[in-house]
């Protein structure tokens, strides 16, 4: 059984998230994307818990299901902000649990350290080891995964607030950590360069703040299981057996791959940035140091290193971006989204289109040019101009055609989706 999972995202109770990000929309758009196991996000939030109890049924497997049988797992993300070693630390951790009763117990445990009702991703002043002790004190089967470990601002290895090693962050609780999350701006190959990460499974999820299929499921972890249960998911994670592959975007597509300054429109490779002592050539202030530079700082292996038995991964630019580049039209236009919904309506989910639909079938419904672009994407042949300091990277179909990536008009996307659903 192939399980394409997105087990890190948020709900409508998290800040800067869609107010329509609820279970029904998560299910609807997960099906369009091709994800067949979703995380709930924000399970400790008291109002969200009430909705989860109404929308999801438990059967003792640790997997909760909607009325139509779609599977969910209880997931959340907790922000820890504290001082250690004379430096301010900001580390985000994903947590999973196996029942609504345990979710309620997590809420009660967190309430002893602060509020949980103001945001789906609450902030606490405890250290990473203290957080591990708190969660394991509730239930030993709670899984804790350092989130998007390279993001500059809020992560384990973040250039502005992180640590140089997992052990430095978690101390002797490191044995309770079994996996790390790549984040959009890194991929497994980059993480393989750190021998300290060999002991951990490397997983990928979307960290989505909306239910739209160009965000939800854009990164995912694929499990191969005989039966879908919480216990089997945890076993696969902890043993690395049953982890089939991860689905990534090109790390250059992420918002923090290169060093730069968004306000100055400055994007620099690590080599260029280091020559400037990591200072912006326009304003003279420190640059936001991106993931590639930070990996280079901590790596003890050369570029291209590959483990003997790696868990495979594939990189896919979202289908909407491919259509935009192939058509030479901005991603927000109605024409792009009409084509998107036509394809997923005729050929299956987005991941079916990106991963599996035969080229001849693609040509029949998408035309020869777009079919060629989709196949290039499938074969890992599309370059990306790297993102930096909060700016997404830009896919390049050919060197003569560089498509600007404007702000997305969500109304065009929403109208196209409504047309498709009707």
Q: Do 92 and 218 lie in a common domain? A: yes
Task: Let me know whether 240 and 377 are in one domain.
Answer: no
> What's the domain range around 210?
2-253
In a domain, 55, yes or no: yes
Shared-domain flag, residues 63 and 205:
yes
- 108-166 per-position pLDDT tens digit: 999 999 999 999 999 999 999 999 999 999 999 999 999 999 999 999 999 999 999 99
Domain membership flag for residue 131: yes
Q: What is the DSSP code string of 44-56?
A: T-HHHHHHHHHH-
Whether residue 216 is found in the same domain as residue 330? no
Domain count, the chain: 2
- Is position 201 within any domain? yes
> Do 131 and 244 have their domain in common?
yes
Asked whether the beta carbons of 205 and 95 are under 8 A apart, the reply is: no
Judgement on whether residues 249 and 346 belong to the same structural domain of the protein: no
Contact between 250 and 376 (Cβ < 8 Å): no
Same domain for 342 and 235:
no
In a domain, 193, yes or no: yes
Q: What is the pLDDT of residue 419?
A: 45
Alpha carbon distances (Å) from 252 to 55, 185, 228, 394: 37, 6, 33, 8
Last residue within a domain, chosen from 207, 224, 253: 253
| One domain for residues 193 and 103 | yes
On the 0-12 / 13-18 / 19+ scale of CB atoms within 10 A, 105 is middle
- Report the pLDDT value the prediction gives residue 406, as an integer from 0 to 100: 37
215 assigned to some structural domain: yes
Residue 229 lies in a domain: yes
pLDDT at position 409: 38
What sign has the CA pseudo-torsion 66, 242, 172, 160?
negative
Q: Does residue 140 form part of some domain?
A: yes
Specify whether 243 is located in the same domain as 335. Answer: no
CATH of the domain at 171: 3.20.20.140
DSSP 231-284: HHHHHHHHH--SEEEEEE--GGGSTTSBEEETTTTEEE-HHHHHHTTTB-TTT-
Other C-beta atoms within 10 Å of 332: how many? 18
Do the bridges between strand 220-224 and strand 64-65 make them parallel or antiparallel, or are there none, so unpaired? unpaired
Do residues 324 and 249 share a domain?
no
In a domain, 192, yes or no: yes
The reply to whether 201 and 323 lie within a common domain is no
Domain boundary residue, one of 238, 253, 268:
253
Task: Examine the fold and report which residue of 227, 253, 279 is the final residue of a domain before the chain moves on.
Answer: 253
| Same structural domain, 37 and 146 | yes
3-state secondary structure of 307: coil
- Ranges of the chain whose pLDDT falls below 50: 402-422
């Amino acid at each position: 059984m192939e399980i394409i999972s997105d087990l890190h995202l948020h709900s409508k109770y998290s800040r800067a998230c869609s107010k329509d990000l609820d279970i029904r929309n998560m299910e609807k758009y997960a099906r369009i994307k091709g994800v067949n196991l979703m995380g709930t996000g924000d399970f400790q939030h008291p109002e969200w818990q009430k909705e989860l109890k109404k929308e999801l049924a438990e059967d003792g497997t640790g997997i909760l299901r909607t009325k139509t049988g779609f599977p969910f797992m209880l997931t959340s993300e907790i922000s820890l902000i504290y001082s250690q070693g004379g430096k301010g630390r900001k580390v985000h951790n994903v947590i999973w649990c196996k029942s609504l009763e345990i979710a309620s117990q997590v809420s009660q445990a967190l309430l002893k350290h602060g509020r949980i009702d103001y945001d789906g991703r609450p902030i606490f002043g405890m250290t990473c080891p203290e957080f591990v002790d708190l969660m394991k004190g509730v239930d030993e089967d709670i899984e804790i995964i350092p989130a998007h470990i390279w993001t500059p601002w809020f992560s384990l290895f973040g250039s502005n607030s992180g640590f140089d090693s997992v052990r430095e962050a978690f101390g002797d609780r490191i044995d309770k950590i079994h996996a790390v999350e790549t984040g959009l701006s890194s991929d497994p190959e980059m993480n393989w360069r750190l021998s300290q990460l060999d002991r951990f499974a490397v997983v990928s999820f979307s960290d989505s703040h909306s239910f739209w299929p160009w965000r939800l499921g854009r990164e995912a972890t694929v499990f191969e299981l005989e039966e879908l249960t919480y216990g089997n998911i945890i076993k696969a994670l902890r043993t690395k057996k049953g982890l089939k592959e991860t689905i990534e975007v090109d790390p250059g597509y992420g918002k923090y791959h290169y060093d730069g300054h968004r306000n100055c429109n400055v994007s620099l490779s690590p080599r260029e940035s280091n020559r400037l002592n990591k200072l912006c050539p326009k304003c003279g202030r420190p640059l936001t140091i991106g993931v590639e530079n930070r990996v280079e700082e901590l790596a003890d292996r050369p570029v291209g290193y590959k483990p003997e038995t790696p868990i495979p991964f594939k990189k896919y630019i979202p289908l909407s971006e491919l259509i935009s580049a192939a058509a030479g039209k901005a991603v927000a236009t109605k024409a792009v989204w009409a084509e998107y919904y036509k394809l997923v309506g005729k050929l299956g989910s987005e991941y079916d289109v990106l991963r599996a639909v035969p080229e001849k079938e693609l040509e029949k419904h998408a035309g020869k040019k777009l079919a060629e672009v989709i196949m290039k994407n499938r074969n890992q042949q599309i370059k990306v101009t790297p993102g930096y300091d909060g700016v997404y990277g830009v896919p390049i179909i050919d060197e003569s055609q560089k498509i600007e990536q404007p702000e997305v008009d969500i109304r065009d996307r929403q109208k196209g989706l409504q047309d498709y659903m009707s």
